[in-house]
A and B are shown apart, each in its own frame.
Chain A
Amino acid sequence: MAAYILRRVLWGVVLLVLVSLLTFAIFYVLPSADPAQLRAGRDASPATLHQIRVSLGLDKPLTVQYWTFLKHLVLHADLGYSYFSGASVGSLLLDRLPATISLTLGAVVIWLLAAVPLGVVSAVRRGTWVDKLTTGGALLGVSMPVYWLGLVALYLFANDIGKLPLLPGAGSYVPFTHDPWKWLTSLILPWLVLASTFAAVYARLLRGNMIEVLSEDYVRTARANGLSERRVVWRHGLRAAVTPLVTLAGLDVGLLLGGAVLTETVFGIPGIGRLNYDAITHADYPLIQGTVLLAAIFVIVANILVDVAYAYLDPRVRET
């Protein structure tokens, strides 16, 4: 198992280098803004533009720029400085990370707590009004864009612009360390909004998996052996049906930790997603590279964790 994990970690490092190279290539090859021009404004002469390029190190050959970046990253864990604000990329990421972690983990808890019972009940009571209601609700949840749902949630429930002012609205986020209660209340609406789509998808997937699993021979055998229906469903059915969802959840959590830009924007949460969006808008290459690498790290780590969890849930995986 240890060798397996080590092999995955090494592959992760290779992937990170590839991701950084790809990000670098995309930034310079595809149509995008020019950081020097953004900094210079429209009045600037070619000479001024050149000065800015020199001061940002953009005048050097691309290979030199990339090598310098890699060298600083590997030797000093230094992601460089934002072209736009002059702040170190590392400090900007650290500043934004708690908000994104808060948003993601809270949403994950909510969507799993909602999706698992809904998916199971829907599968067990297939064709009944409970199933139809759950399936319809899931369809609705999948169909609603997060951005739109966020706006509706704010217009309904935010305590500043809502018709039923129940919860803090956009821009109310405070870090947990500043005020845990305000942190909690400020995140309830974003959690619910972000979780709704995922809960819907997961419930539908789990329903399908459960229906398939419950028709398997070993489940019939379990029933024939006199096990209670509750034990058959929750112990034997769910354990097998939930395994593919673990893979998906791992990937989704990894992606969301890389930034939930729409939710963060609607609710004014200063997270990684918004940071990445701003970096792209400002053609702030060091920051783009930093946010992309961070997202990649989360996805890779999540994948490794998923594989380990998979092996735990399904003993056959350990043997292969």
Chain B
Amino acid sequence: MRRSANRALSLVSLCIAAAIALSACGSSTTTGGTGASADNGAGGHRGGSLTVLTSQDMASLDPGITYASLDLNVLAATERTLYTYAPNDPSNIAPDLAAGPPQISPDGRTLTVKIRSGVRFGPPVNREVTSRDVAYAIERGFNPHVANPYASTYYGDIVGADRATGGPIPGIQTPDDHTIVFKLTRPTASLLAQATVLPLDAPVPPEYAKPFDAKAPSTYANNVVSTGPYMYAADRGGRVLGTGYVPGRSVRLVRNPSWSAGGDKRPAYLNAITIEIGGSPTVSGRQVLAGRGLVLADSPTPELVKRAYLHNRSQIYFSPGAGTNYAALNTAIAPFDDADLRKAVAAELDRQQMRTVRGGAVVGDSGSHFLYPGVLGFEQAGGQQGTGVDFLANPQGDRALAARYMKAAGYPSGKYTGGQTVQIVGLAGAPDSDDAQIFQQALQDLGFKTTLKLVDSTVMYARFCGLPKARVQACPNVGWIRDFADPQTVLDVAFNGNDIFPENNPNWPQLNDPAINRAMARAELTVGTQQRANAWGTIDRMITATAAAIPWLWDRQPNIFAANVRCVPELWNQGHCDFAYTSLK
């Protein structure tokens, strides 16, 4: 009785506190309200400067190292990768540095890309880009001084990549200045073609970068050269650090004099972009809504989302397809090594309430599987209706069903009577901590004794949820977002039993189901868009059926900008305003 009362109270108070209270609380719809609409940027006004406010620094300026969201946002304006996404099309790769579509051999083991002529490096290199520059960019990703985090994941099938340390890789061939050929050990060329949207293949001039890459760690980031319409402001020698980039303070992008509009779809309306780092999102958000020429790169606070949604609707955009949030249950240790107990928790959990505390329907749909809207295979996995498992059928939870699963697990009263105390580790700070508490309440309602530890995101992953020896039983605040538009990037790393590492383990539930592992091994080699969608959609159903993790939100990421900014959101990158398409009104 007391638990029920507390729960009701918390729901009311959370609803009052949450953003979009009017539209969210009590709503059971799956389609949220929308703010501004997506835009392709055509016909924008040329000129002016944009100022981006953010509390977070860039992770790295080096395209060979980073793929953090803000960094990708900047790199999309400063670099040219082989392929890219148009800002309003997150699904289909389009040639950027490439001169045409990727050519994949019938056996799927060779990928050939023709490179566009006339693309030039910015100062101080000032010469035409060749295929050798692309090859070097990828090769340096395997250099321990650069240590690109995803090179082995997506480029690891290139012949010789397994022995690469930064020098030439036999499987990357450059028969002429405008052709690059990738020879692969497995028929995974279509996946590699998709992966070329990531910044690792942005060309790097070897004669310029090698001295920087010789240092441990590489200092190329401090002297990075651009090929896109914008470059970091730099001194005459090309040093960016201290000029175009002051750590923790600012990033300054100016026009790249070597860039030519011919052969590039990006209109590059703005004259300059300045990123100011270090303010409080609470204050910065208000400045953006009230100011001119401003964009907020942080996730706006729920209060700010509410304010923008109610009073400045044209200044907020909710980007669909911004990832899946889920609660991971540790399948490797008791008590959640029992599938029926996991299903009981999934049935009990009020996923709609977890969404409500974040702002309700406008910030996303209640998730019911792991491939989220906009990712290939989403429909094949069941789409908005879900995969059909009963324990996720009701987003508000189903107490009677939970009790049935508890009985099936050997607890006739419908309540857990084992001696195990469940250790939960979640994120500190609202609304994440609120979600963790809702999850904890669900466990307590099922009779579990629990301890909840709320920590910073980095600590949560490094010391608890991503560290199997920490023996954490539940992590309610984890999530995953695609690297590019292929479902493998959502499911493989996060649920493949072959990828359970002793540290930095991304398979948080430690799911190691032989049938799923085998299905993934087959699906990796599947060729063809429809075939891959079917294969990975089926795998999504298999994962969901294990209840190793409970999907509870398919994110829509809110982004806010000033009234005079015509923001063109990058739908492939959480809806950040694409600097190369955005303009001032």
Interchain CA distance A135-B31 in the complex, whole Å? 55
B252 CB, nearest partner CB in chain A, Å: 14
Check A87 against B458 for contact (C-beta < 8 Å).
no
Is B208 engaged at the interface, CB distance under 8 Å to the other chain? no
Q: Which residues of B contact A154 (CB under 8 A)?
A: 283
A51 at the interface (CB under 8 A from B): yes
- CA distance in complex: A82, B222 (Å): 12
Q: Is B463 an interface residue (CB 8 A)?
A: yes
- At the interface with chain B, which of A34-42, A178-186, A295-303, A311-319? A34-42
Residue contact A265 to B493, C-beta cutoff 8 Å: no
Whether B462 and A37, one on each chain, are in contact in the complex, defined by CB atoms closer than 8 angstroms, is yes
Task: List A residues 127-180 near B (Cβ within 8 Å).
Answer: 151, 154-155, 160-161, 169-171
Q: Do A42 and B456 form a contact, CB below 8 Å, given A85-B57, A160-B287, A160-B290? A: no
Question: Chain B nearest CB: distance from A36 CB in Å?
Answer: 8
Q: Which residues of A contact B245 (CB under 8 A)?
A: 85
A62 within 8 A of B: no
A55 touches B149 (CB 8 A): no
Which of B68, B145, B278 neighbours the largest number of chain A CB atoms within 10 Å of its CB?
A: B278
Min CB distance A258 to B, Å, is: 16
B504 at the interface (CB under 8 A from A): yes
Tell me if A86 and B458 are in contact (CB < 8 A).
no
Number of A-B pairs whose CB atoms are under 8 Å? 153
Task: Bin the interface of chain A by size.
Answer: 35 or more
CB of A37 within 8 A of CB of B216, answer no
In Å, the complex CA distance between A54 and B280 comes to 35
Give the docked Cα–Cα distance between A268 and B249 (Å): 9
Task: Please tell me which one of the listed residues A40, A91, A278 contacts residue B57 in the complex, with CB atoms under 8 A apart.
Answer: A278
Q: Select the residue from A170, A274, A282 with max chain B CB neighbours within 10 A.
A: A170
Q: How far is the CA of A92 from the CA of B276 in the complex (A)?
A: 16
A45 at the interface (CB under 8 A from B): yes
Could you tell me the distance between the alpha carbons of A19 and B221 in the complex, rounded to whole angstroms? 32
Interface size class of B (residues with CB under 8 A): 35 or more
B283 touches A161 (CB 8 A): yes
Let me know if A217 is at the binding interface, CB within 8 A.
Answer: no
A17 within 8 A of B: no
- Check: A33 CB closer than 8 A to any chain B CB: yes
Which of B145, B148, B219 has its CB near the most chain A CB atoms (within 10 A)?
Answer: B148
* Interchain CB contact under 8 A, B149 and A151: no
Cβ contact of B278, chosen from A38, A161, A270, A282, cutoff 8 A: A270
Interface assignment of A65: CB less than 8 Å from any CB of chain B: no
Complex CA gap A41/B59 in Å reads 10
Q: Which of B207-232 contact A (CB under 8 A)?
A: 216-219, 221-222
Q: What does DSSP make chain B's interface, helix, strand, loop or mixed?
A: loop
Complexed CA–CA distance, A134 and B67 (Å): 55
Query: Is A84 part of the binding interface, using a Cβ–Cβ cutoff of 8 Å?
Result: yes
Contacts of A68 in B (CB 8 A): none
Inter-subunit contact A31/B463 (CB<8 Å): yes
Q: Is B282's CB within 8 Å of the partner chain A?
A: yes
CB pair B149–A41 under 8 Å, yes or no, is yes
Contact with B along A83-95 (1 / 0, CB 8 A): 0111100011001
A46 touches B501 (CB 8 A): yes
State A92–B57 Cα separation when bound (angstroms).
14
Evaluate contact between B247 and A151: CB separation under 8 angstroms: no
Contact bitstring B177-193, A, C-beta under 8 A = 1, else 0: 00000000000000000
Instruction: Give the complex CA separation of A92 and B248 in angstroms.
Output: 9
Question: Residue A91 contacts which of B242, B463, B464, B466 (CB distance < 8 angstroms)?
Answer: B242
Task: Compute how far the CA of A86 lies from the CA of B222 in the bound complex, rounded to whole angstroms.
Answer: 7
B115 at the interface (CB under 8 A from A): no
Interface centre among A33, A56, A57, A274 (most CB of B within 10 A): A33
Confirm or deny: A48 has a beta carbon within 8 angstroms of a beta carbon on chain B. Answer: yes
Which residues of B lie under 8 Å from residue A40 when comparing CB positions?
Answer: 147, 149, 504
5 tightest CB-CB pairs across the interface, nearest first?
A: A33-B458, A85-B247, A268-B279, A51-B144, A44-B149
Extra contacts, 12 of them, besides A48-B152, A86-B219, A274-B278 (Cβ < 8 A), are A34-B503, A52-B144, A52-B147, A55-B216, A56-B216, A56-B217, A84-B57, A87-B247, A160-B290, A171-B53, A265-B280, A278-B248
15 A-B residue pairs with CB within 8 Å: A31-B459, A39-B147, A40-B147, A41-B68, A49-B503, A57-B216, A85-B241, A86-B222, A95-B246, A171-B279, A266-B283, A270-B248, A270-B249, A278-B57, A278-B278
